[in-house]
Amino acid sequence: MISVIQRVSQARVEVGGLTVGEIGRGLLVLVCAERGDTEAQADKLLAKLLKLRIFGDEAGKMNRSVQDVKGGLLLVSQFTLAADTSGGNRPSFTGAAAPDEGRRLYDYFVANARAAHPDVATGEFAADMQVHLVNDGPVTIPLRVL
């Protein structure tokens, strides 16, 4: 699975002008299931995400996790993270999991995140979403688990 993690002071997702997910301080996570990904990879990504020390401590050093700071998680499905642009100017998305499998793994990831963390919001799978965020830092980290 591949993801892009952004430390935010606030973020929200709108679908059709309505807010479907919103957090204050925390992590906006764009997440993509790729062909061949498994639940074990989703579990590994979630474990890494919850422990990733990218929030400041008293000295201003990135030494705290989203769990340590009691931050929110906003999980947004983003199949375009699997884009392959090596063959020209139009991206290919053949590396992304098929829609049914992508939804299954995304739903699995969200369910496990909600079981492990008290503040989890989401976008809407396969919807045309508008993502609003205030990137804190800015801190943006790509993360792929194999």
- Which positions are catalytic? 78-80
Give me the residue label for tokens 């053949």.
Answer: 94
Query: Using CA atoms, how far apart are residues 52 and 93, in angstroms rounded to an integer?
Result: 28
The total number of residues shown for the chain amounts to 146
What's the DSSP call for residue 33? Answer: P
**Residue 92 region by backbone torsions, left for phi larger than 0, else alpha for psi between -120 and 50, else beta:** beta
